[in-house]
Structure formats: structure tokens, C-alpha cells
Amino acid sequence: MAVFVTAQALAMAVLVLTHDPVLFTVAAVLRQACQLAVLVQMLAAAALIAPTRAA
């Protein structure tokens, strides 16, 4: 998860600093993909910690 957080931070830095539309778009897509990956990992960890009982 640390890799995704680091990549997300780097992509955010590129978003703030770049003026190139193509680089901005690539960085935005990368940031969103990393944010989704972190969310999925957090949900998976939460499911392991507190699993629900099947009825």
C-alpha cells in the first residue's frame, strides 16, 4: 500500500506543477488508479479484521 500512496503523492505533485495537458491527464489517471487501489486494499484489510457472518 505504501507504493500506491507514494505514487499517488508523486502524481499529485505532477498535477500541481505541470502545464502539459498530456502529462496532466496521465498523472490524473494514475492518481485515481492509485487512490482506488488504496481503497480496495483498505476494504480488504477491514474485511479480514471484522468478517461478517453469512446467514
The answer to whether residue 53 sits within a structural domain is: no
The answer to whether residue 23 sits within a structural domain is: yes
Q: Please give the average per-residue pLDDT across 11-36, as a whole number.
A: 94
- Print the domain residue range for 29: 2-48
**Percent of the chain predicted with pLDDT > 70:** 95
pLDDT at 55 over 70: no
- Measure Cα distances from 21 to 28, 44, 48 in Å: 10, 35, 41
The answer to whether residue 43 sits within a structural domain is: yes
The answer to whether residue 55 sits within a structural domain is: no
Number of domains in the chain: 1
- Residue 25 in grid coordinates: 491527464
Cα–Cα distance measured from residue 53 to residue 49, given in angstroms and rounded to the nearest whole number: 13
- Residue 21 in grid coordinates: 495537458
Cα–Cα distance measured from residue 55 to residue 48, given in angstroms and rounded to the nearest whole number: 18
pLDDT at 54 over 80: no
